Amino acid sequence: MSQPTATDDQTGTETGLLAGYTLRRITLYVVLLVMAVFYLVPIETGLMTSFTDPDSYTGQAPFLPPLEPLIPGSGTFSAQPWTNAFDILGQGLVNSLILVVPATVLSGLLGSMAAYGLTNVDWRGQVGIYMLFVAGIFIPYQAVLVPLTQFWYNVVPLRTTFVPVAEVLPFIHAYHWKLVALIVTHVAYGLPICTLLFRAHYKKLSDEMLEAARLDGASISRIYRRIVLPLSIPMFAVVFIYQFTQIWNDLLFALTIVQFGDAAVVTQDLVGLGVSQSGTNFPLRMAGALVAALPTLVVYVFFGDKFARGVAA
Amino acid sequence: MAELNLDGVTKVFGEGSGNEVLAVEDVNIDIDDGEFLVLVGPSGCGKSTTLRMVAGLESISSGEIRLDGRRINEQPPAARDIAMVFQSYALYPHMTVRQNMSFGLEESTDLDDDTIESTVTDAAAKLDITELLDRKPGELSGGQQQRVALGRAIVRDPAVFLMDEPLSNLDAKLRAGMRTELQRLQEDLDVTTVYVTHDQTEAMTMGDRIAVLNDGQLMQVGSPLDLYHRPANQFVAGFIGDPSMNFFSVTHEDGRLVGEGFAYPLSSETERDVGDVEDCVLGVRPEDVTLVGSETDAHDFQVDVDVVEPMGNENNVYLSFPDADPDVSGDGPGTFVATVGGMRQVERESTVVARIPEDAIHVFDAESGAALHNRVLDESVETQPTVN
């Protein structure tokens, strides 16, 4: 399309402007469409593959829906990979849930309390403590792996104390001690960043409002419960989504602390899913990956609007 | 209902850090039961700090604060039986007006829910905010939020109200209305009130007594008219009154005050007050300067009119002595303001005769700022200056 030349004719100029406008629009939409396809194709491919019967899976054009014999070479439709994935990952999913829910809630709550104590309550030496929190963010994961194993296996007698507990309480198994260790580790590691996020939020709370609450007779803990906590709900959404995703997707700490056995979480189970001597079962692997990703997706759907408000706050 | 005493109250920020800032120095004020005391001063003068020390939000470096004779220095804010209204209103945004108002009662008393409810409803009725009780602060206008903040203080039924510039976030019209309403409310409740403001109009109109602070020091405590007519020093004289008092730097020689472009003869009484101080400041309020037809008195001066500001009811006329240094513009040493009636025609850039009557002048020591001579008052308006 050539640029319209300027004419004295009023209508000519108008159509010219309109033409330039639509050209920009078309370009914009084409670019957006290409980007959308580019980003969605891998997921679409994974989804299509996961519904393909492993025996008919050829690996050619995996993004096509499995509509054999309608489309030759695209594979036969089958829900088998999904049911298999659920069967194999079931235990891992349960373990991951046992891990991620308390770890997320605890790191959020403790982070919020720590941030309140470090930001809105005045006491000597809080800057030093705060510096320790900040330093915590920068400790590399790799540096703590060996000490972490030593700590949980040799220093803390968590395993031995857990055996009698598991015998008494229902639904508790002896191997759950590994998950408890993992929960504590994740809370400790997530605490600094949670504290930092909450602190940024609490700094914006009006000092006068908190002073008014003090004059109203509320103690430090009552001010937290009745004023600060209700006002940090948007921030909790941010922290919960962030921590949930972090902990759910973690493999490194799980490998270090759980290592193997009944307490293995879903990311660990996913590593070996569908891999055997005879080759890789791609439909099963894809179904497994999607199954493992499902909870994070659900969390985003449920907390997404609050997340957006928290980020904007 | 209580008497509040501030006894040598001092606040030093950053104590022991080597970076100390003296915010409030040796302030002594005795506030009677039911009195409305206004703490006024320019920003940074320590008035808010003083109030916060009374509230218990700042520690007291030295001195003593007594409420009904009992020392409260060490008591936490909640135990002091005070309520405070903040400049930003400081309402709890996630609570309704009702919850905002009942919060203090729930936290500080053992009252049952019904009593709290009826107390809140009564206070809301008093402030005419009954229909707002179930709304949240974000849905209210500034004036309504102000009322809720007041309501939150009232329900507590405290011994002392502390107010930190509560009206400064309101627009001018609303502020004037709230001013009268606050006064009426305070009179109704008869609660000792300490009110902080930087606005001298608020101070003059609202206070039973005014305490003027500057640079952390108490300049003067007294009734509004006391401060207006018998300022203890140049700062108070300049701070109270709008437009503010005219000052001329003068030297005292041979029974006259000689300034930039004029000489002002003194009577023997004034002369006696001024004594042998040489560097003085002559002060006169704009409304005491009159424009007369011709020079008939030794206190009449030929002056140029620089600017006329018509206010409707009156005109502010900016005058200057013709012999004053012409380079000095604006509020230079030779210029001053006179307030004349609004019906009076004064042409700018004309020459008029200004009379500065001797019974209206104030003379201050230029060095210390202390008042050497205050204006002569009709004896029927007897006011006793109470310095400190």
Closest by CA to B230, choosing from B213, B212, B250, is B212
Cα–Cα distance for residue pair B279/B288, rounded to 1 Å: 23
What DSSP designation does B357 have? -
Closest by CA to B89, choosing from B165, B31, B172, B14, is B165
User: What percent of chain B lies above the pLDDT cut of 90?
Assistant: 57
Cβ of A209 under 8 Å from any chain B Cβ? yes
What three-state secondary structure class fits A56?
helix
A231: nearest CB among B91, B94, B109: B94
Residue B351 · residue B322 · CB < 8 Å: yes
Q: Search chain B and give the residue with CA nearest A212.
A: B90
CA A97 from chain centre, in angstroms, equals 13
What three-state secondary structure class fits B328?
coil
Residues of chain A with Cβ-Cβ distance to B92 below 8 Å are 209, 212-213, 227
pLDDT score recorded for residue A18: 60
Cα–Cα distance for residue pair A285/A84, rounded to 1 Å: 10
B57: nearest CB among A209, A211, A217: A211
CATH no. of B243-376: 2.40.50.140
Residue position matching structure tokens 């899913």: A273
Residue B289 · residue B355 · CB < 8 Å: yes
pLDDT score recorded for residue B163: 94
Q: List Cα–Cα distances, B339 to A156, B284, B347, B355, B376, in angstroms.
A: 86, 11, 14, 12, 19
pLDDT tens for each residue of A259-270 = 888 889 999 999
Average pLDDT over residues A73-98: 89
Contact B77 A213 (CB under 8 A): no
- What strand order describes the sheet that includes B62-67? B70-71, B62-67, B4-13, B21-31, B217-222, B209-214, B36-40, B192-197, B160-164, B82-85
Cα–Cα distance for residue pair B97/A203, rounded to 1 Å: 24
Cβ of B111 under 8 Å from any chain A Cβ? no
The residues, ordered by sequence, that sit 6+ positions from B101 with a Cβ below 8 Å of its Cβ are B120, B123, B124, B133, B148, B151, B152, B155
A206: nearest CB among B90, B103, B104: B90
The strand ranges marked E within chain A are 275-276, 279-280
Lowest mean pLDDT among A59-63, A132-136, A225-229, B209-213: A59-63
Cβ of B14 under 8 Å from any chain A Cβ? no
pLDDT score recorded for residue B329: 44
Contact B108 A227 (CB under 8 A): no
Is the Cα dihedral A86, A89, A95, A100 positive or negative? negative
pLDDT score recorded for residue A280: 85
pLDDT score recorded for residue B122: 92
Residue B145 · residue B96 · CB < 8 Å: no
pLDDT tens for each residue of A46-77 = 999 999 888 888 777 788 888 877 777 777 88
Cα–Cα distance for residue pair A152/A190, rounded to 1 Å: 18
A212: nearest CB among B76, B86, B94: B86
Cβ of A211 under 8 Å from any chain B Cβ? yes
Give the gap in angstroms from C-alpha A233 to the nearest C-alpha of chain B.
11
Helices B113-127, B172-189: axis angle to 10 degrees equals 130
pLDDT score recorded for residue A112: 96
The amino acid present at B109, given as its one-letter code, is T
Cα–Cα distance for residue pair B281/A214, rounded to 1 Å: 47
pLDDT tens for each residue of B58-79 = 999 999 999 999 999 999 988 8
Q: Search chain B and give the residue with CA nearest A218.
A: B107
Cα–Cα distance for residue pair A312/A306, rounded to 1 Å: 10
Cβ of A222 under 8 Å from any chain B Cβ? yes
Q: Search chain A and give the residue with CA nearest B90.
A: A209
The residues, ordered by sequence, that sit 6+ positions from B12 with a Cβ below 8 Å of its Cβ are B20, B21, B22, B23, B61
**Would you identify the CATH topology of the domain B4-229?**
Rossmann fold (3.40.50)
The residues, ordered by sequence, that sit 6+ positions from B365 with a Cβ below 8 Å of its Cβ are B277, B279, B280, B281, B372
Cα–Cα distance for residue pair B161/B146, rounded to 1 Å: 15
Burial code (b: 16+ CB inside 10 Å, e: under 16) for A288-309 equals bbbbbbebbeebeeebeebbee
What three-state secondary structure class fits A23?
helix
Residues of chain B with Cβ-Cβ distance to A222 below 8 Å are 107
Q: Search chain B and give the residue with CA nearest A213.
A: B104
- Helix and strand tally (H, E) in chain A? 13, 2
A212: nearest CB among B56, B76, B84: B84
Which is it for strands A275-276 and B314-320: parallel, antiparallel or unpaired? Answer: unpaired
Q: In chain B, where does the domain assigned CATH 2.40.50.140 lie?
A: 243-376
CB pairs under 8 A between A and B: 62
Q: Search chain A and give the residue with CA nearest B75.
A: A215
Which is it for strands B160-164 and B82-85: parallel, antiparallel or unpaired? Answer: parallel
Contact B90 A226 (CB under 8 A): no
Q: In chain B, where does the domain assigned CATH 3.40.50.300 lie?
A: 4-229
Give the gap in angstroms from C-alpha B201 to the nearest C-alpha of chain A.
25
pLDDT score recorded for residue B388: 45
Residues of chain B with Cβ-Cβ distance to A217 below 8 Å are 78, 104, 107-109
Check: complex ipTM more than 0.85: no
Cβ of B175 under 8 Å from any chain A Cβ? no
pLDDT tens for each residue of A109-119 = 999 999 999 99
- Please tell me the number of Cα atoms within 13 Å of B210 on its side-chain side: 30
Residue position matching structure tokens 């949980």: A152
pLDDT tens for each residue of B6-28 = 999 999 998 777 788 899 999 99
**DSSP annotation string for A235-290:** HHHHHHHHHHHHHHH--HHHHHHT-SSTT--HHHHHHHTTEETTEE-HHHHHHHHH
pLDDT tens for each residue of A169-200 = 888 888 889 999 999 999 999 999 999 999 99
Cβ of B88 under 8 Å from any chain A Cβ? yes
Contact A211 B104 (CB under 8 A): no
Higher per-residue confidence, A154 vs A34: A34
Contact B55 A208 (CB under 8 A): no
pLDDT band at A6 (very low <50, low <70, confident <90, very high): very low
Kindly report the CA angle at B216 between B283 and B239, in degrees rounded to 5?
Answer: 25
Residues of chain B with Cβ-Cβ distance to A230 below 8 Å are 94
What is the rounded end-to-end Cα distance, in angstroms, of chain A?
45
Residues of chain A with Cβ-Cβ distance to B152 below 8 Å are 212, 216
Give the phi and the psi of residue A63 in degrees, each rounded to 5.
-80, -10
Cβ of B87 under 8 Å from any chain A Cβ? yes
Where chain B has pLDDT below 50, the residues are: 327-330, 381-382, 386-388
Cα–Cα distance for residue pair B121/B102, rounded to 1 Å: 10
pLDDT score recorded for residue A16: 56
pLDDT score recorded for residue A27: 93
Candidates A123, A210, A211, A215, partner chain B, best to mutate (most B CBs within 10 A): A215
A214: nearest CB among B77, B87, B92: B77
- Containing H/E element for B1? none
CB atoms within 10 A of CB B271: 15
pLDDT score recorded for residue A304: 80
Give the gap in angstroms from C-alpha A193 to the nearest C-alpha of chain B.
26
